[in-house]
C-alpha cells in the first residue's frame, strides 16, 4: 500500500493529467464552479511527471503554454510549519534556487485530509525576482507561502488558492490572463 504522500501525489498527477476517473471522484463534493474547472482538464491537460524528489520536487507539470515543478504536502491540520522539520526548509530553499536559475514558478500543493469540496490549495515560494510572460502573471496571482519572523516557511491551507481556481486561471489564454490581473 502506498504512503499517504504518494497517494496524494498520484491524485494530483491524475487531476492535472485529465484522468476522467480521478476527476469524477474529485468533483463529487465540489460546487458547480469547482466541477467546471476540474472537468476542463479533460480538454486542456498537462503532462505530469513524477520526479525523484531530490530537489524538493514531487511532480513536474508540462503543457504547451506553462510548466512548473510541484512539491506536494498533505495534512489533517490546516497549518504546516516547515520549522518542525529542517528537511522541509532545506527542500524549499533548494527549490527556490533552482527555480530562480530557470525562471520557473515553484509551486506547493497542500492537500487537506477529510475536506469536502476542493481539498487542494496552491501556493508559490517567494523568489525575490519577477518572472516573465505567463509565468510572471501566474506568479502575481498565486499566494506565496508565509515567512515567520524567524524566516521559516508556513503554509496556511485557508490562505492558498483553490486548485480548481488555479486550473481555471491557467486555462485562460495569455491575453485574457492580463485582463484578469
User: How confident is the model over 16-47, as pLDDT tens digits?
Assistant: 999 999 999 999 999 999 999 999 999 999 99
Banded model confidence at residue 56, pLDDT cuts 50, 70, 90: low
Half-sphere exposure of 55 (CA within 13 A, CB side): 14
Banded model confidence at residue 53, pLDDT cuts 50, 70, 90: low
Per-residue pLDDT tens over the stretch 158-174: 999 999 999 999 987 64
Torsional class of 37: left (φ above 0), alpha (ψ -120 to 50), beta (otherwise): alpha
CATH assignment of 4-174, given 3.40.190.10, 3.40.1350.10, 3.20.20.10, 3.30.43.10? Answer: 3.40.1350.10
Per-residue pLDDT tens over the stretch 66-125: 999 999 999 999 999 998 888 899 999 999 999 999 999 999 999 999 999 999 999 999
Amino acid at each position: 500500500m502506498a504512503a499517504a504522500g504518494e497517494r496524494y501525489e498520484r491524485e494530483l498527477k491524475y487531476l492535472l493529467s485529465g484522468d476522467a476517473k480521478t476527476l469524477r471522484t474529485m468533483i463529487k463534493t465540489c460546487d458547480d464552479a469547482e466541477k467546471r474547472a476540474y472537468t476542463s482538464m479533460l480538454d486542456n491537460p498537462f503532462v505530469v511527471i513524477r520526479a525523484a524528489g531530490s530537489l524538493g520536487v514531487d511532480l513536474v507539470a508540462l503543457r504547451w503554454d506553462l510548466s512548473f515543478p510541484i512539491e506536494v504536502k498533505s495534512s489533517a491540520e490546516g497549518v504546516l510549519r516547515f520549522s518542525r522539520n529542517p528537511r522541509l526548509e532545506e527542500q524549499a530553499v533548494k527549490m527556490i534556487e533552482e527555480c530562480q536559475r530557470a525562471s520557473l514558478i515553484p509551486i506547493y500543493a497542500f492537500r487537506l485530509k477529510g475536506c469536502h469540496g476542493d481539498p487542494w490549495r496552491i501556493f508559490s515560494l517567494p523568489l525575490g525576482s519577477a518572472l516573465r510572460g505567463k509565468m510572471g502573471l501566474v506568479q502575481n496571482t498565486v499566494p506565496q507561502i508565509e515567512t515567520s519572523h524567524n524566516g521559516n516557511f508556513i503554509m496556511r491551507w485557508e490562505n492558498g488558492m483553490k486548485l480548481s481556481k488555479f486550473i481555471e486561471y491557467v486555462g485562460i489564454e495569455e491575453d485574457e490572463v492580463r485582463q484578469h490581473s
